Amino acid sequence: MIITFMSDFGTKDGYSAAVKGIIKSYSAASEIIDITHDIPVYDIHKAAFTLVTYYRTFPAGTVHLCVIDPGVGSALRGIIGVTESYYFVGPDNGLFDFVRCKEEMNFFEIETENYKKISSVFHGRDIFAPVAAQLANGVKPQLLGAKTKIDGPFQTSSFKKQGGAISVRPAVIDNFGNIVFRIMEEELKSYKITKLQFKNFTFHNILRFYNQAKEQTALCLWNSMGFLEIAVNRGNAADIAQVDLTKDELHITVEKI
């Protein structure tokens, strides 16, 4: 069975290696697929967003292991999330919020007593790796923890809407300089979009293909993950716009259909 593995461990140290070693020690037959270990340190939101761009491409039964854990070693609980087709393993800090926006997810709180003797600090290696490996081996989540609920609001808050005016912040800037926003096509399906304004960019249409704009020209499109994106055909939109992820907002004007 497949275990995908995403973390903020970087690639300079042996941390991701230690997690992989434990997985293979618990589950010789599992197949580890590296997602990335270059999530910015402690950036739960970026990780949650990234997860939702790939998790559904994997075969049913895949275990998605996500270790982005600012509170490592603390009392923060570890959880197993279960959807119709997948398992998710990681700390209970909002990593799976975008997934539970999309589909029903049940949760189990990992029973850590069995693992605590091993180490007090490195949960990725000592708790999450064995749990992911056991799920890949076919162990039911009920045997690894008790059913629980995730309380409180989703931590990956989305756009604001007042009448016909929507404002939304960029979620990420990708490797190509595309600016991706936290709003999905399905969320606006009952509206007609008349205008989009982001810094110096103004758009009146949302396109499908990068090459529907001329080379080096900006466009707004629904990207291949279903999110709204500003791109420059064969160029780098983020460099041109000099985006500040903490402040800049996209303003969308809509009319009810």
Positions in 165-184 near a copy of itself (CB under 8 A): 172, 174-176
B/e letters for 222-234, b = 16+ CB within 10 Å, e = fewer, are bbeeebbbbbbbe
CB-side neighbour CA atoms (13 Å) of 132 = 34
DSSP 164: T
Joined together, the tokens standing for residue 222 give 């629904």
Distance spanning both ends of the chain, measured CA to CA: 46
Instruction: Evaluate whether 99 touches 83 at the Cβ level (below 8 Å).
Output: yes
- Identify the residue among 84, 104, 117, 120 touching a copy of itself (CB under 8 A): 120
Interacting span for a copy of itself (CB under 8 A) from 54-62, 95-103, 107-115, 159-167? 54-62
Positions in 208-237 near a copy of itself (CB under 8 A): 208-211, 221, 223-224, 234
In the complex with a copy of itself, the residue whose CB is nearer, 10 or 217, is: 10
Interacting span for a copy of itself (CB under 8 A) from 33-41, 94-102, 132-140, 237-245? 33-41
Q: Residue holding tokens 């539970």?
A: 100
In the complex with a copy of itself, the residue whose CB is nearer, 160 or 234, is: 234
32 binds a copy of itself (CB under 8 A): yes
Angle subtended by helix axes 129-136 and 15-26, to nearest 10: 40
185 binds a copy of itself (CB under 8 A): no
Strand partners, 6: 36, 66
Residues making contact with a copy of itself (CB under 8 A): 2, 4, 6, 8-22, 24-25, 28, 32-39, 41-42, 50-51, 53-59, 62, 70-75, 119-122, 125-126, 172, 174-176, 208-211, 221, 223-224, 234
